[in-house]
Amino acid sequence: MALTTHAAHTHVQLLLSADTARPGDTIWAGVDLKMDPDWHTYWKNPGEAGMATKIQWQLPPGVTAGDIQWPLPEKLPPAEVTTYGYSNEVMLLVPLKIAADLKPGMVLDLTAKVSWLECREECIPGSTTVAAQLHTGWKTEISADATTMDLWKSKVPQSGDRLKAQAWWEQPANGDRRPLIISGKFIGLLAGKLPTDFDFFPNANDNYEIQGTTEKSSIATTDSASRPPVFALRKTVQKFSGDWPKEISGVIVMQALGYRVGYEVKTPVADQAPPGVTLSPPSESSAGVSPAPPIPPKTPAAGTAALPLMLLYAFLGGLILNIMPCVLPVIALKILGFINHAQQKPGRVRTLGLVYAAGVLVSFLALAAVVIGVKAAGRHAGWGMQFGSPVFIVCLTTLIMLVALNLFGVFEVTLGGRTLSGAGQLASQPGAPGAFFNGILATALATPCTAPILATALGFAFLQNNPVIIVLIFLFVGFGLAAPYVVLSWNPAWLKFLPKPGAWMEKFKIVMGFPMLATAVWLFNLAYDYYGKSVLWLGIFLVIVALAAWIFGEFVQRGRSGKGIAIVIVLMLLIGGYAFALENQLHWRAPIVSASTPGSIADSPDGIDWQPWSPGAVTKAQTGGHPVLVDFTADWCVTCQVNKKIGIEVPSVREKLKAINAVTLVGDYTHFPDNITTELNRYGRAGVPLVLVYPKAVGAQPIVLPQILTPGIVMDALDRAAKQ
C-alpha cells in the first residue's frame, strides 16, 4: 500500500517494486514526484541555484536504504542561471535491503520524509511524509508498479564502461577561474556513432563549481587507438576554496541513436593535454580565462536571426500580461462584457472580439510610434516610459476615477444615440465603442507591468534601429494580450458556460468599481513623486470632477427639469476646477521633479541601507571586498514593488546581507534617467525590474536574477557572490 500526498505544486507518492519480499532480497522504492505544468524540482546537483530533493527514511529494524539513483536531468531555464532538474515528473529510486533474519509474515511500515524546492518563476520549498507497507514472505512478489519503476531505472545514467573519459587543464589559472577540457571516446555499441549533441553535468562540490556554460570543441589526435569518434567539451571551473581539483565526476550527457543517454564518469584532471591531442583554439566566449567576461549577451542589433524567436516571446509575453495585476481590473470588466456577448448573435460576437483586438493593436501601434519617435530624436526609450510623464499620470488618474464612478452608477455616457453606463459600461457593453475602449484601457494599464518572457522581447525591440522590427514586436505583444478574448468571441459555445444576464450584473458592476478605484489611488500615489505635497490639489480636482459627474448623472441624465442649469454648473465646475486646481495651484505641466531628474531613495523601514547606484559605486564596493546587490526599480513598476516586499526586504535576506557585509544600491528608474536606460540595455532589458548581484572580486560581472524573486533566489545569489 502506498500513500499519495500533494503539497503546493508537487504530488509525491511512495511506490515499491514488490508487494511481498523474501528476507535477504533487495527491492526498490520509488519516490515519485509529479509537478504541475511549468514547475520543476532539482537534481542531486541543482547547479547555480535551487536545492536537491532530499529523502529521510524512517525504517523498521531489518530494512536498510541505499543511495538515491537519480534519473538523467535536464538543464532548466532561465538561460542566465544554469540549473539541473526535472519538469513534469521524476521518480527517485532507492534500493531497500531486507535483512535475512527477518521472519516471513511480517508487515513492515516504510516511511520517508521528502523535502524539495519547486520552482516556476518563483520558488517554494515543499515537504511531506509518504509511507508504504511491505510484507515479508517465502518469495518475492512484484507489484503493479514494478514495470513503471523499471522504466525509470532505464533513465538513470549508466556506468562509464562504454565511455573512456579524460580531463586536463587547458591553461593556467587566472585568479579563481580556470578552463578545463573534458574529452572522451565511445567504445562498444556506440563506436562509430558520433552524437548529435553532448554535455557534462557535474556532481556538486563545496570547494569548486564547474559552470554550466559549455563550448564544444573539435579535437584531433595522432593516436591510432583513438579512431572511434572523439568529443571534447570546454568548461570553466570556479574555485571557492582549497586547491584546484585533482579529480572530477559527473554525467556525460549525449544525444545519440535517437535518444538521450547519460554515462557516469570519474576521471583525474591532468595538468596538460595528452600527447598527440590538438584542440581548436578557445573562442572569445571560452569560459574561462578573461578576468572580466563580457557583459551578459546583448540582444542582436541586426535582429534578423533572432526575430522569429523574439516574436514568439512577444506573443507569449502578451498572453502573460492578461494575468498581471495591472490588467486584472479590466479582465473583470471584460468578463461582464462576455456575459452580454453570450446573448448576441455569433457574427456580432465575433465582430466585437475583433474590435477589441483592434483597440489593443491600435494602442500598441501608438506606443511603437512613440518609441520610434523618441529613438529618432536621439533619446533613450524604455517600456512604460509614458509613466515618466506627469501629464500622462494626471490624465490617466482622472480617467480611471471616472471609470470607477461610472461603475458605481454615478453617471452615464451617451454614445451614438445610445446610453451606456460610462467608461465602465464602455468596457462591459456589447457595443463596438465599448469593445474598442476596453482594448485601449487594457493596454494603458498593462504598460507598468512586465512579464519574464515579455522582458526579453521588449529588450530586443528597444535595441533595434529598424522601425519595422519595433512595430512587429509591439504588434505581437498586442496579439498576445488580445488573443484570449478573440478566441472566446470566435467560439460562442464556450460563452454558454457563463451565467445568464440578470439583476446580479448591476451588483457585480459596482463591485468591479473598487479595483478601479484602487488603481486610481495607486496612480495618485505616483503623482506625488512629481508634485510633492502639492499633489493635494490633484485630489481636490478629482473631487470636483466627481461632483460634476454626480450632478450630470443625477440632474441631466436622470432628472426631469433644470437640465440646462445643471449643465452650466457641470461646465463651471470642470473649467473652474481645472483652471484653479491644476493650472493655478498644482502647475501640473511643470512638476516639481523633472522627468529627467533621478528619483530619490526612500528610506527602508526594514533596515536595508540603500545607496544610489552608479558604476563607480559598484567598483568602490568591490574594491572594498564587498558583494553588491543592485535593484533597478521604479515606483510605478508593480512587479518591482512585489519583488521588494517578498524577495528582498524580508528578514532572511536582510540577515544575509549583513552576514556577508554586502553593499546595497538602488537604481531609481521612476523618472527614466538616461544612464539607467543605458545600463538596462546592456543586459537586454527594456525596463525594470532588473536585480543584479555582483561578486566581491574587483571587475567580476554580476549574477542576473530572474524577474520574479523569492528570498531563496536572492540568498543563493548572495552566497555565490560572497564566495567569488
The 3-state secondary structure of 369-380 reads HHHHHHHHCCCC
Q: Which long-range contacts (CB under 8 A, 24 or more apart) does 160-165 make?
A: 160/252, 160/263, 160/264, 160/265, 160/266, 161/188, 162/186, 162/187, 162/188, 162/189, 162/190, 162/263, 163/187, 163/190, 163/252, 163/263, 163/265, 165/252, 165/263, 165/265, 165/267
Contact 485, 441 (CB under 8 A): no
Residue 192 CB neighbours (<10 A):
9
Predicted local confidence at residue 496, as pLDDT: 62
Q: Which domains does the chain have, with CATH numbers?
A: 4-153 (2.60.40.1250), 160-279 (2.60.40), 307-586 (no CATH), 610-723 (3.40.30.10)
Residue 422 CB neighbours (<10 A):
24
Contact 199, 151 (CB under 8 A): no
Give the single-character DSSP code of 656. H
d(CA 136, CA 247): 43
d(CA 93, CA 53): 12
Which residues, listed in sequence order, are joined to residue 536 by a DSSP beta bridge? none
Q: Which of 656, 636, 631, 657 is nearest to 709 (CA)?
A: 631
Give the SS3 label for residue 10: strand
d(CA 111, CA 60): 9
Distance set, CA 210 to CA 80, 200, 218, 235, 572 (Å):
15, 9, 20, 7, 73
Q: Which of 690, 712, 616 is nearest to 80 (CA)?
A: 690
Predicted local confidence at residue 691, as pLDDT: 92
Low-confidence ranges of the chain (pLDDT < 50): 1-6, 188-193, 222-229, 282-305, 414-430, 594-600, 602-603
Which residues, listed in sequence order, are joined to residue 703 by a DSSP beta bridge? 693
Q: Which of 152, 120, 161, 171 is nearest to 33 (CA)?
A: 152
DSSP-derived pairing of the beta strands 74-76 and 141-142: unpaired
Distance set, CA 568 to CA 64, 275, 342, 400, 419 (Å):
89, 97, 41, 24, 21
Q: Which three cell numbers stand for residue 590?
A: 511643470
Predicted local confidence at residue 605, as pLDDT: 53
Chain-centroid distance of CA 140 in Å reads 48
Furthest C-alpha separation in the chain: 106
Predicted local confidence at residue 520, as pLDDT: 86
Q: How many CA atoms lie within 13 A of 359 on its CB side?
A: 24
Give the SS3 label for residue 167: strand
d(CA 514, CA 408): 9
d(CA 54, CA 92): 10
Burial class (CB within 10 angstroms; exposed 0-12, middle 13-18, buried 19+) of 37: exposed
- Tell me the one-letter amino acid at 401: M
d(CA 714, CA 724): 16
